C-alpha cells in the first residue's frame, strides 16, 4: 500500500517529501507510535537509517529532523494509516480505482533540460528527445525512409526513442549502475519527458546539486553517442567501456562546476567505480 502515508500523512507523506531518506530508512512500515518516545515532556523520534548520511545528504536530513520535531502529535488520537488518495484518509476501492486511472500531470521539465552546466549541444539533444523528435529508426520510418527497425544496442526488434534511452537492456544496465551506486531504487517511466520530470531534486550543496542534475542527461547522451558509433562507424563498446564513457563524460562536465575543496572528490569517490 505504497500510497499510505506515515507521519504527517494528511498533508503529504514523508516518503514523498524525502524519497532519498525513505530509501535509507531501516524500517519503512513503522507507525508513529513505534518511533515516537515521550519522556518527561520531551519528545524523541527514534528513526533509524541503514547508513550514515553522506555529505550532500546532510541538508535533507536536517530538513527531515526539523520537520518531524516541529510537529506535536495528538497523543489522544489513535495512530492509524492514512490513505492519501481519499480526502478522509480511509481506503475505498473507488478512490483506489480513481488513483490508478488518473493520468499524472507532468509539467514539461525545461529546467531539468536547460538549467545546468552540461554542454548546450547536450541540452539541445535531450530537449529534442523529450519532444520525441530524435532520428531513431521508428521516427525515420515515419518519414518514409526505408530502414530496418532494429536496435543496434540489444540487437532486438524496434528502436524507438524510449527503448533506446530508457528501456533497452543496455540503457537499463547503465541507469541501474547509477541507481545502485546512489543507493536508489527506481521504476523507469514510460517516456523521456517523464523520466526527466521525476528525476528527484536533491537538496544539499550547490555543486553537488549541479552534478546530480547532469546525470540523466549524461546517460542519455552517452547512449546516443554509442548508438551512433554502432550505426555509422560499426564500432561497439563493451558494457564496461560504456560505463567508463559515462563516468568520464560526467567528470568532464563537472569541471565546469565551481567546486571548493573536497565536495567534488567526495562525490566522485562514492559513485565512480574503482
Binding site for Zn ion (CB under 5 A): 151, 153-154, 168
Closest separation in Å from C-beta 197 to Zn ion: 23
Nearer to Zn ion, 14 or 151 (CB): 151
Nearer to Zn ion, 10 or 156 (CB): 156
Nearer to Zn ion, 165 or 211 (CB): 165
Closest separation in Å from C-beta 126 to Zn ion: 19
Closest separation in Å from C-beta 219 to Zn ion: 15
R_g of the chain computed on alpha carbons: 22
Closest separation in Å from C-beta 156 to Zn ion: 5
CA 68 to CA 237: how far, in whole Å? 48
CA distances from 89 to 19, 78, 83 (A): 21, 14, 4
Instruction: From 123, 31, 40, select the one nearest 81 (Cα to Cα).
Output: 31
CA 217 to CA 136: how far, in whole Å? 17
CA 44 to CA 69: how far, in whole Å? 8
Nearer to Zn ion, 151 or 245 (CB): 151
Nearer to Zn ion, 134 or 168 (CB): 168
Cα three-residue angle 210-215-221, rounded to 5 degrees:
125
Helix (H, G, I), strand (E, B) or coil at 172: helix
Closest separation in Å from C-beta 154 to Zn ion: 3
Amino acid at each position: 500500500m505504497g500510497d499510505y502515508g506515515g507521519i504527517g500523512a494528511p498533508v503529504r507523506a514523508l516518503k514523498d517529501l524525502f524519497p532519498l531518506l525513505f530509501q535509507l530508512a531501516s524500517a519503512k512500515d513503522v507507525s508513529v507510535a513505534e518511533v515516537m518516545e515521550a519522556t518527561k515532556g520531551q519528545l524523541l523520534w527514534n528513526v533509524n537509517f541503514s547508513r550514515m548520511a553522506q555529505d550532500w545528504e546532510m541538508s535533507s536530513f536536517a530538513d527531515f529532523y526539523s520537520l518531524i520535531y516541529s510537529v506535536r502529535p495528538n497523543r489522544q488520537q489513535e495512530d492509524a494509516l492514512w490513505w492519501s488518495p481519499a480526502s478522509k484518509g480511509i481506503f475505498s476501492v473507488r478512490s483506489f480505482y480513481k488513483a490508478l486511472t488518473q493520468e499524472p500531470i507532468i509539467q514539461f521539465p525545461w529546467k531539468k533540460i536547460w538549467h545546468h552546466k552540461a554542454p548546450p549541444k547536450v541540452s539541445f539533444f535531450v530537449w529534442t528527445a523529450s519532444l520525441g523528435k530524435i532520428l531513431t529508426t521508428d521516427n525515420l520510418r515515419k518519414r518514409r525512409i526505408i530502414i530496418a527497425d532494429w536496435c543496434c544496442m540489444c540487437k532486438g526488434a524496434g528502436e524507438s526513442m524510449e527503448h533506446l534511452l530508457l528501456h533497452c537492456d543496455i540503457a537499463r544496465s547503465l541507469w541501474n549502475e547509477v541507481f545502485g551506486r546512489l543507493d536508489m531504487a527506481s521504476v523507469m517511466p514510460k517516456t523521456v519527458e517523464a523520466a526527466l520530470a521525476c528525476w528527484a531534486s536533491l537538496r544539499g550543496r550547490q555543486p553537488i546539486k549541479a552534478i546530480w542534475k547532469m546525470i540523466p542527461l549524461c546517460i542519455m547522451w552517452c547512449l546516443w553517442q554509442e548508438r551512433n558509433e554502432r550505426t555509422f562507424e560499426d564500432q561497439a563498446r563493451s558494457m564496461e567501456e560504456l560505463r567508463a564513457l559515462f563516468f568520464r563524460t560526467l567528470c568532464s562536465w563537472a569541471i565546469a562546476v565551481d567546486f571548493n575543496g573536497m565536495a567534488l572528490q567526495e562525490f566522485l569517490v562514492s559513485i565512480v567505480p574503482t
